[in-house]
Structure 1
């Protein structure tokens, strides 16, 4: 079956109720607007957000194991160093967000877009990307070890130093990306790479094969 390359858009109502203060384990937040919400460093597990909007919301350093997001818009928010292991994202759109150091290892992303986001030093180990598009993002130093990237597309992204060891790459797409210093190049079998990216990829491959490139 041919994989979709365009994620389904989130469905979020125009009219939303203001978010309730605080966050507790097993909370269910539906049709809420987290406008400027301060959730820095909170701990809450098995929380679910459905048809919510986050604008300039701060979740930096939050610990949210097994969190579930469905049909959400996230704009100009700070999720840096958030830990959301084994979480789920379905039909989400991130725009202009800071997510440095986010840990989403073991999670599922389905129908998700990241646009102009800072997603460097993130941990996606053992996660699955199903119809996910990252455009104009800084992913320097991101860790995709053992990640299923068959449904991922990277466009105009900085992947300097990103790690792909044991990743599943068949069908993953890369276009106009910075690939200097990437690790795990031998896992790239079946990836689809734009001709403009071949030079950077060739240096990574040469390094993996022990080839020294010099003038």
Structure 2
């Protein structure tokens, strides 16, 4: 994964509302901290080389959100709409994206570290070199998406849904789930541990592994 190209010493303190003062709704080389914002609506907001710390966005609607070289730390983005987003070299650390939507989005070189994406939706999306590390993806929905070089490391995947999404070359063996929604076709070529393999053998073949 390519990390965000961000030099924190060059950043200037800004407020989120500063984005409305620019014609193209762009925040660049900015540091945003400890704001609580509800029901914000903005078409194609752009964050370029920014650091967001302790920010809270509740029920935001940022259609076509664009982020390049951005780090988000301890941010809450609950029940937000980020459809058709474009994220490139973005790192989420200890963030909450519970119930948020990134359908029809493109993510490249994006890392989620110790994040909660329970009930989040990333359907019909393209994920390239994306890592979910020690994150909660309970009831996470990733239907009909294209995954390339996706890494899932020590994540909670219970009741996650990958229907119509190929998991080929993806290693699930360090993840935890009692139930995972995917077809046999979706699972072709993925890596499972013994417990997971036994679960799918029971689900699809009626086989009990002693």
* Residues 47/207 of structure 1: CA separation in 2 closer, same or farther (3 Å cut): same
Contact 1:180 1:201 (8 Å CA) reproduced: no
Write out per-residue CA displacement over residues 183-211 of structure 1, whole angstroms, 9 at most, x where no aligned residue.
11421112233xxx3312431342234x2
CA deviation after TM superposition for structure 1 residue 89, in Å: 0.8
Once residues 205 and 122 of structure 1 are traced to their aligned partners in structure 2, the CA distance between those partners, rounded to angstroms, is 28
TM-score by length of 1: 0.88
1:62 to 60, 69, 93: 60
TM-score by length of 2: 0.90
Matched ranges for 1:139-178 at <5 A:
139-178=137-176
Once residues 19 and 173 of structure 1 are traced to their aligned partners in structure 2, the CA distance between those partners, rounded to angstroms, is 40
**Worse overlay, 122-131 or 33-42:** 33-42
Higher strand share: 2
Matched ranges for 1:57-136 at <5 A:
57-136=55-134
Would you say 1:10 and 2:9 are equivalent positions?
no
Which residues of structure 1 form unaligned runs of 5+?
1-6
Number of equivalences:
205
CA deviation after TM superposition for structure 1 residue 129, in Å: 1.1
Which residues of structure 2 form unaligned runs of 5+?
none
